[in-house]
Each structure stands twice: as structure tokens, then as C-alpha cells.
Amino acid sequence: MQAEWLSVLSIGVALLLGAMSPGQSFVLVAKTAVSSSRRDGLATALGMGVGCAIFSVIALSGLHSILLNVPWLYKVLKVGGGIYLIYLAVQMFRGSHKSLHVDATQSAEIGFRKGFSFGLLTQLCNPNTAIVLAGVFAALLSHHIPVYLYIVLPVLAFTIDTLWYAFVAYVLSSARPRNVYLHYKNVIDRVSGGVMALLGIKLILSK
């Protein structure tokens, strides 16, 4: 039981670092919060969280099926997922010096429903999220996980993504904290890249 919850904690840290690495989701939430309203930014964050929960269910279901029915595909998933995580880490390091530009020009509010839809569709149209989730789950979970983790992990993924992007929407609707955060983007990218690289190596070498 203790080992399982340690795995859950490790997964939570990995998901948080992945969410914190600025990318298309960050830009969408930031632009919505800045150019529309804080409320619409929070709606977009909620959509991101729901999309991440959906992908986590898919990743868990696929992993469960592979482990139980086609064991050799698990080895393929380990190596392929590990390579992808290392590739993602390299991309994070290479992109750490690039600045993100968020347009602060004010415009009409888009509304809660549209903000939520933008967040959900942006997340669901990014298959990399599912691949990363599957890789993280494969690296940090045992071959046979208890049933309750099929509920805990999607809820965890939803909570982390929603809270992080809600924080982004709340903070980046103010100019000063937005500039401070973007100033340290390179540090966040490098830390996140290092964690992803370690996960990829662990995944490839694990038995």
C-alpha cells in the first residue's frame, strides 16, 4: 500500500512538472485570461483538466489491456515511451531559451462555455498528452495495480491540470506576475526536461 501511494505521489509530481512546462496549453490559457477575462481563463483551465482526465483513463485502460493480454507489447511501450520522453526532454531543453509572447490587448469576453470548449478541444487534439501519460504510468506503476487507482489517477490528473491552469489564468491576468513567471520560463523548461529524461531512462531500463 505504501509503495502504491509513493507511486501516486511520484506520478503527481511528474504530471505537475509536465503541466508547468509552458506550451500550447499555457499559451491558450494565458491569452484567454489576458485578452478576454479571468473567468474565461478559469473556464479554459477547467476544460484542460477534463481533457487530461479523459486521456488518463484512456492511458490506464490501454496499459491495463496491454499488460494482461499482450505482454510483448508492454516492452514495445516501455522502449517507445522512454524514447519519446527523452525526445520531449530534449525539446524542452532546446526550447528553454525561447520566449513566449502573450498578447495583452483587451478584447470582448468569449464566455464560459466557449472558454471551456477551447480548453477541452485543445487538450484532446494533443495526442502527446496521452503518450506522456502512458509513459509516466508505465514507468511508475507496477504491472498489476489495484482497482481504486483507476479512479484516483484520473482524479489526480484532473485536479493537477485544472489547479495549475487556474493558477495561470488567475496570475497572468495581472501584468507584473505574468512578466515574472515568463522571466523564469527557461528554468521551468530545464527542470521539467530533466525529470522527463530521467523518467524515459527509467522506463527503458525497467524490467
What are the tens digits of pLDDT across the range 56-87? 988 888 755 665 676 676 677 678 767 877 87
Q: How confident is the model at residue 152 (pLDDT cuts 50, 70, 90)?
A: very high
Of residues 182 and 117, more confidence is placed in 117
DSSP type of residue 99:
P
Q: Give percent of the chain with pLDDT exceeding 90.
A: 16
Question: With 90 as the cut, is the pLDDT of residue 154 above it?
Answer: yes
Least confident window among 41-50, 156-165, 179-188: 179-188
Q: What angle do CA 193, 205, 64 make, to 5 degrees?
A: 90
Contact 15, 160 (CB under 8 A): yes
Rounded distance between C-alpha atoms, residue 159 and residue 56, angstroms: 12
Which residues are CB-contacts of 137 (< 8 A; sequence separation ≥ 6)? 11, 56, 59, 60, 63, 153
Question: With 70 as the cut, is the pLDDT of residue 32 above it?
Answer: yes
Q: Which residues of 125-134 are buried (b: 16+ CB within 10 A; e: fewer)?
A: ebeebbbbbb
Give me the pLDDT at residue 48, please.
93
What are the tens digits of pLDDT across the range 88-129? 788 778 877 766 555 555 455 678 899 899 889 888 877 667
Among 25, 176, 192, 200, CA closest to 95: 192
Contact 181, 172 (CB under 8 A): yes
| Domain residue ranges in the chain | 2-17+24-205
Give me the pLDDT at residue 53, please.
94
Among 19, 46, 51, CA closest to 32: 46
